[in-house]
Amino acid sequence: MKRIMVLVLTGLLLMGSAISAPVSAQSDRGATARAKAAERLEAAKLKVCQKKEAAIQKRSEQLVKMATNMQTKFTAIASRVKEYYADNVVGTANELTNYDELLTAIADKQ
């Protein structure tokens, strides 16, 4: 009877150590899975951030391009108005007394 008890207790002890090994292995797998998930999350966050950065950069470049285009168009309009004024208005009754002041104001604002 004692021998059976010893065998049973020994078996339980062995089973206990066998059971605890898979639990620790599961714990390691869980930690590994959590680490991989955290790594994937960081990679996804980085990718989103890079896309936002690219969008902001593109918007900034387009804004500079638009401002340059506007500057070019306004300069062209001002030169055509100067030509028209010099060719058609100077010497008539419609000539402006403050025309030179207006030209300097346009040049200052550019």
Contact of 75 with 110, CB cutoff 8 Å = yes
CB neighbour burial string for 69-103, b if at least 16 within 10 angstroms, e if fewer = eeeeeeeeeeeeeeeebeeeeeeeeeeeeeeeeee
pTM value is 0.54
The predicted pLDDT at position 3 comes to: 61
Instruction: Name every residue whose Cβ is closer than 8 Å to that of residue 78 and which is 6 or more positions away in sequence.
Output: 106
Contact of 106 with 78, CB cutoff 8 Å = yes
The CA distance from 55 to 12, in Å, is 64
Domain boundaries of the chain, sorted by first residue: 2-109
The tens place of each residue's pLDDT in the chain, 110 residues long, gives 556 655 555 665 555 554 454 556 677 888 999 999 999 999 999 999 999 999 999 999 999 999 999 999 999 998 999 999 888 888 787 888 888 898 899 888 87
Strands (E), 2-99: none
The CA distance from 105 to 78, in Å, is 12
